[in-house]
Amino acid sequence: EKGSAFALGLLAVKPEYQQLIVDAGALPHLVALLKRHKSGCNSRSLHSAVRRAADAITNLAHENSSIKSRVRVEGGIPPLVELLDSTDVKVQRAAAGALRTLAFKNDENKNQIVECNALPTLILMLRSEDPAIHYEAVGVIGNLVHSSPSIKKDVLLAGALQPVIGLLNSCCSESQREAALLLGQFASADSDSKVHIVQRGAVPPLIEMLQSPDAQLREMSAFALGRLAQ
């Protein structure tokens, strides 16, 4: 099973194979594999199989809106949200990666992820010392709030602001970039959000990022500062 999920994940990297794999009936089996974590078994091989299934879903749904919706219809979102609480870091990361892909430009998926109570765990993940974990978490939250004012409010009410500001000082430049982008999005929520972002110390690290050799980092910090200044 692990090998099958791994092979499907590799094949799904090619867009021309995505629909063929889904049409052949792979999704229900991958979702069933995700649900195996409830069996009470905590073996390494089970963790590995679940991770491969999440990775395969990520690759199948990449830039494919109809497959993103099919994953939701097949019941794939609730087990992925549950896997954010996995004790296995690789499983946690794979589940977040799948949710990040499924949330991108798909409002029904976004709503279901929030309804499944993903936000508290994602916000805990923002505080993780592991850059791979906080990078995936900030990416999921970024995709959830994009063009969704109501989810933006939910995320702020759930307590995301301080840990996102904390990520401006991450050792991972990708996390810094995502955090700056997210703060720019939060700043457009309302004037209160801007005040809170400034009061909680976001401006000095954003200004420091303007001097980064990384062009994308400079661009995102300029975006966030511009939104704060509006």
Convert the chain into a string of H (helix), E (strand) and C (coil).
CHHHHHHHHHHCCCHHHHHHHHHCCHHHHHHHHHHHHHHCCCCHHHHHHHHHHHHHHHHHHCCCHHHHHHHHHCCCHHHHHHHCCCCCHHHHHHHHHHHHHHHCCCHHHHHHHHHCCCHHHHHHHHCCCCHHHHHHHHHHHHHHHCCCHHHHHHHHHCCCHHHHHHHHHCCCHHHHHHHHHHHHHHHCCCHHHHHHHHHCCCHHHHHHHCCCCCHHHHHHHHHHHHHHHC
Q: Which CATH architecture has domain 1-117?
A: Alpha Horseshoe (1.25)
Judge contact between 22 and 65, C-beta under 8 A. Answer: no
All residues at 6 or more sequence positions from 147 whose CB lies less than 8 Å from its CB, including other chains:
105
Q: Residue ranges per domain, the chain?
A: 1-117, 151-230
Res 189: pLDDT: 63
Judge contact between 47 and 88, C-beta under 8 A. Answer: yes
Confidence of residue 102 (pLDDT cuts 50, 70, 90): very high
* pTM of the complete model: 0.94
Judge contact between 130 and 89, C-beta under 8 A. Answer: yes
Confidence of residue 2 (pLDDT cuts 50, 70, 90): low
Q: Residue 193: CA atoms inside 13 Å, Cβ hemisphere, count?
A: 24
Structural fold of domain 151-230: Leucine-rich Repeat Variant (1.25.10)
**Is pLDDT of 1 > 80?**
no
**Is pLDDT of 133 > 90?**
yes
Taking residues 68-87, what's their average pLDDT? 98
Averaged pLDDT score across all residues of the chain = 94
pLDDT in tens, 18-56: 999 999 999 999 999 999 977 767 788 899 999 999 999
* DSSP-assigned letter for residue 74: T
* Interatomic CA distance for residues 138 and 146, integer angstroms: 12
Confidence of residue 12 (pLDDT cuts 50, 70, 90): confident
Tell me, yes or no, if the two domains 1-117 and 151-230 fold the same way.
yes
Judge contact between 192 and 151, C-beta under 8 A. Answer: no
